[in-house]
Amino acid sequence: MADQLSELKAKDAAVYQAILQEEKRQQSHLELIASENWTSLAVRQAVGSVMTDKYAEGYPGKRYYGGCEYMDVVETLAQDRLREIFHAEYVNVQPHSGASANTAVYFAALKHGDRILGMDLSHGGHLTHGSPANLSGKFYQVRHYGVDRQTERMDMDSIRSLAKDFQPQMIVVGASAYPREIDFEAFYQIAQEVGALVMVDMAHIAGLVAAGLHGSPVGFADFVTSTTHKTLRGPRGGLILSTPEWGPKLDKSVFPGLQGGPLMNTIAGKAVAFGEALTEEFRIYQAHVVENARALAQGLMERGLRLVSGGTDNHLLLIDVKHSGLTGKVAQARLARVGLTVNKNTIPFETEKPTVASGIRIGTPQITTRGLGQNDMAELADVIAAVLQAPQDQDPDPYLARVQALAEAFPLPGI
Ligand SMILES: *Cc1c(COP(=O)(O)O)cnc(C)c1O
């Protein structure tokens, strides 16, 4: 990348250095954060293009500014490809982020003070699903469902009774730290029984859904939202899918309801990423993401670690590090010392503050993009288990060397 940035290097050495250092960090560490990925050079070139300079408020063919003919080309490409990936009828590619996509749906479909039922943050839900710290928890009345204490999975019967009792206007489905398949059809049935709308937020699993490796929410939800940068492997952003009758309201809710001009460079990057998501290579990649997560989970459990729900069906796993005598915070710091980037995460029935937490979340999307395969998952499991189970004063260097050997064997593609 250094030679692509010669102008930046000459004009702004401080920013250039930070970017170069970040590139080196990504290259030399294994990024195990479940919500991250590594975009193709084609996506990054689109995002770094002149498309960033253009104002294009409105939608293709209906812009408030002149000179939008090529904006219409890229936004229409993004829309058409997105429709094709998920077999959706209405699409909106303008949300700046996953959070914006969710907020736009709430604005389109709910009134201030309406009731929403969403997954508990500490059980794997997301801040935008009704956390008191988020607008969704301030504008709406919220109740939360969680997982069953024994199985650590969603229990549809208890969610049904909660829905019957609470009578929500909307049920929000989806999670940021749930390692199991979600039964969208069951949620939809419950929503029918109580007369609620359903929003599925598939931010984490969109890539798996695109590849047919997780059941699709399309057909079982009034609204589907997602990020574009997690398993879907596009630029940082959001999207909305729905049925045509909601189209006019959703369009207005995104712009001018919530946002101003769309980030057209990001939309160009989304178009490129959606094109990639339609290929056979992408489907194979997602299959490897899931296989790697399963192999890593197996390797960790064989070495005595406890995984929430006893394994994974998707791209992520949650390790209960309290079971190994640590906190999430300490586990995250220990793994950082050996070149593994993870995030501490609350686990169901958490007893620590979120800033300490009892778990860590690990995902395979980014390392699978680098090309690591199932054999490498055994090596990785060995390092993670040894580092988490070792005494506090253990020397990290031998483990750091093993992680660096993996990072060197699998350089990030496209640099
Ligand atoms: C990541 C995530 C979001 C938010 O995405 P941002 O782009 O960071 O706003 C929303 N919902 C879920 C379930 C997520 O995992």
pLDDT at 103 over 80: yes
Q: Give 241's strand partners.
A: 91, 224
> Is any ligand 1 atom within 6 A of the Cβ of residue 92?
no
Give residue limits of the domains in the chain.
Answer: 45-277, 290-409
Contact 311, 302 (CB under 8 A): no
Three-state DSSP class for 25?
A: helix
Contact 360, 318 (CB under 8 A): yes
Residue with the two structure tokens 């008191």? 132
| CATH 3.90.1150.10 describes domain 290-409 | yes
* Catalytic residue status for 83: no
> Is any ligand 1 atom within 6 A of the Cβ of residue 237?
no
In the prediction, which pLDDT does 393 show?
80
If you average pLDDT over residues 61-87, what whole number do you get?
A: 98
Q: pTM, whole model, 2 decimals?
A: 0.97
Return d(Cα 49, Cα 266) in angstroms, integer: 9
H helices within 29-167, ranges in order? 41-47, 69-86, 98-109, 135-139, 156-166
> Is any ligand 1 atom within 6 A of the Cβ of residue 315?
no
| Ligand 1 centre distance from Cα of residue 243 (Å) | 22
Residue 254 is classified by DSSP as I
In the prediction, which pLDDT does 1 show?
58
In the prediction, which pLDDT does 30 show?
97
Contact 345, 121 (CB under 8 A): no
Contact 341, 32 (CB under 8 A): yes
- Contacts with 11 (C-beta within 8 Å, 6 or more apart), sequence order: none
Q: Which one of the listed residues 9, 23, 54, 55 is annotated catalytic?
A: 55
| Ligand 1 centre distance from Cα of residue 98 (Å) | 5
Question: Between the CA of residue 124 and those of 36, 145, 345, 348, what are the distances in Å?
Answer: 17, 10, 9, 8
**For residue 96, which atom of ligand 1 is closest to its CA?**
7
| Ligand 1 centre distance from Cα of residue 237 (Å) | 9
3-state helix, strand, coil in the chain (%, to 5): 50, 15, 35
Q: Which one of the listed residues 23, 57, 89, 183 is annotated catalytic?
A: 57
Q: What is the CATH T-level fold of the domain 45-277, as seen in this structure?
A: Aspartate Aminotransferase; domain 2 (3.40.640)
In the prediction, which pLDDT does 2 show?
56
Return d(Cα 31, Cα 407) in angstroms, integer: 10
If you average pLDDT over residues 373-377, what whole number do you get?
A: 97
| Ligand 1 centre distance from Cα of residue 6 (Å) | 34
What band does 377 get if pLDDT is binned at 50, 70 and 90? very high
Considering only CA atoms, which of 147, 125, 122 is closest in space to residue 310? 147
Give the phi and the psi of residue 143 in degrees, each rounded to 5. -125, 150
In the prediction, which pLDDT does 4 show?
79
* Catalytic residue status for 57: yes
